[in-house]
Structure 1
Amino acid sequence: MHYFNGTGWIARFTGTETTMARAVDVDAWDEATGVALVVDTERGVRRPVTDYPDFSHLARADQVVAALPGGGWRAYWKDEGPDGGPLTEPVLAWLITSTGSATAITVDATAHVDNADSADRLIPPDEG
């Protein structure tokens, strides 16, 4: 599974008695201290990760630097279709990350968009 955000970092929190463990996008960096900042949705402000007692660590996230058309590629799952049969969905786009990896983004018959990380294979346009 890919996790994308603008800064390329997420903050991991272990949880407390009143909050669940979670991963939060690092929104910015404090210019004076260099500490990662996250949005506190309850207070409506940015806060340093070190203000949270359950802050665990920072982890890398993928930064999308480009999106390319699907180009006729398809994603194939051998047992995700009706009655546990095969399923094929068109690749809508390829997300390209700052590390050069590409993630296939598919669209299903109901216009639901998702990544194809769990696909059994990707089928090129000249095949089939």
Structure 2
Amino acid sequence: MRYFNGTGWLAIFTGTETMIGRTRDVDAWDEATGVALVVDPQRGIRRPVTDYPDFSHLEPASQVVAAIPGGGWRAFWKDEGPDNGPLTEQVLAWLITAKGGATPITVGARGDVDDAESADLLIPPGEE
């Protein structure tokens, strides 16, 4: 699944002796220094990434700027269904990114939501 967040950036941490490597959403930017800020779940505050001794680097993520209804589109996979048969799921919504991309988001029969970028075919409304 493609990774989306509000700023379009992820902070990568390598880990320490007591903490495993991890990825955190960049939540904002410090206005005075320009340093990326992440939420510290233990303290319940935003902290600069440079406060962490294991901060490695930033990586781009897809920044969602809008979501629009699925509009009757469906996603089709040749061999993702029961017994490796076909599977069709309704496109619940399209996530629109800052770079103009549109990612179909499907909802399965059990209500699970995922992107459909791996679909073999996207079927427009009214087509079989």
Give TM-score scaled by structure 1 length: 0.93
Q: Write the mapping of 1:1-128 to structure 2, written as runs, cut at 5 A.
A: 1-128=1-128
| Secondary structure at the counterpart of residue 53 of structure 1 | coil
Shift of 1:71: 1.4
Aligned equivalents of 1:97 and 1:67: distance in 2?
Answer: 9
* Partners of 1:31 and 1:67 in 2: CA distance: 28
Determine the C-alpha separation between the residues in 2 that align with 1:93 and 1:116. Answer: 11
**Which of 99-108 and 111-120 deviates more?**
111-120
Q: How big is the shift at 1:76?
A: 1.0
TM-score by length of 2: 0.93
Q: CA deviation at 1:127?
A: 2.4
Superposition deviation, residue 74 in structure 1 = 0.8
Long gaps (5+) in structure 1: none
Identity %: 76
Larger mean CA deviation between 115-124 and 103-112 belongs to 115-124
Equivalenced residue count is 128
- In the TM superposition, residue 70 of structure 1 has moved relative to its aligned partner by 1.0
Give the counterpart letter for 2:33 in structure 1. T
CA RMSD of aligned residues (A): 1.2
